[in-house]
Structure 1
């Protein structure tokens, strides 16, 4: 993703997709995207936009990992999404930025304002936790 200055609306699909993955429902997604865009200047970089997204997400949802997955009976494509929702917020954010939006570790480091080694560690542990949960869901079926 090119992080040069662009019209903020050019990133709306990425922001919406990230918000949906982070929140798991359309109502919260719409609220979060609205909050981000209400506080975004007309021209911005992807990095600044996702920093603002992170700030609004943490203000609205904190580090909550609660999700009711009691109705999961077997692994389907949607179960992967449910497993993503169970990740701690920062792990979930860096995994999605890396794997879904294909941002570099350096870009993610700037967005979350943490050292690149922290980003790499969080991506590693996020993926590991995700794999563990998916494996547990598969063995339960």
Structure 2
């Protein structure tokens, strides 16, 4: 099967959808998409655009609200805390890349810089967590 390469402009809808699902608000999504597209050039590959999106998200938002972690002892636990935030964001992003962008496991692995087996594990658990989270929100 021939894989058509998407230009950054053709990825705009996917990037916005990813941003909306990662941030939860339209304004934050627009800001994240703008930040991503200001950072890239017009000739970037799909993988590089998605990597840039991931880095912009981690730099600007992290996963503070989703993890509910208190930063009272941030100086003592900054490295483990940052690792948890990054991992939670990567799990969520891996599911969204698979479901929204239709990327295969190997492609997601390239974007996230993780082994394919790790991505498969994240997809399995991430889908379960997202479904459970949506069911909890629906019942509230």
TM-score (norm 1): 0.75
1:95 aligns with 2:95: yes
**Residues 40 and 49 of structure 1 are in contact (CA less than 8 Å); yes or no, is this contact kept in structure 2?**
yes
* Count of residues in Structure 1 that have an aligned counterpart in Structure 2: 120
Higher relative contact order (CA 8 A, sep 6+): 1
Moved more, 124-133 or 51-60: 124-133
Alignment of structure 1 residues 1-141 onto 2, 5 Å: 2=3, 4=5, 6-66=6-66, 88-136=88-136, 140=139
Post-superposition offset of 1:3? 6.4
TM-score (norm 2): 0.75
Give 1:82's aligned residue. none
Post-superposition offset of 1:116? 0.6
**Residues 16/135 of structure 1: CA separation in 2 closer, same or farther (3 Å cut):** closer
- CA-atom RMSD in angstroms: 2.4
Post-superposition offset of 1:132? 2.9
**Residues 7 and 46 of structure 2 are in contact (CA less than 8 Å); yes or no, is this contact kept in structure 1?**
no
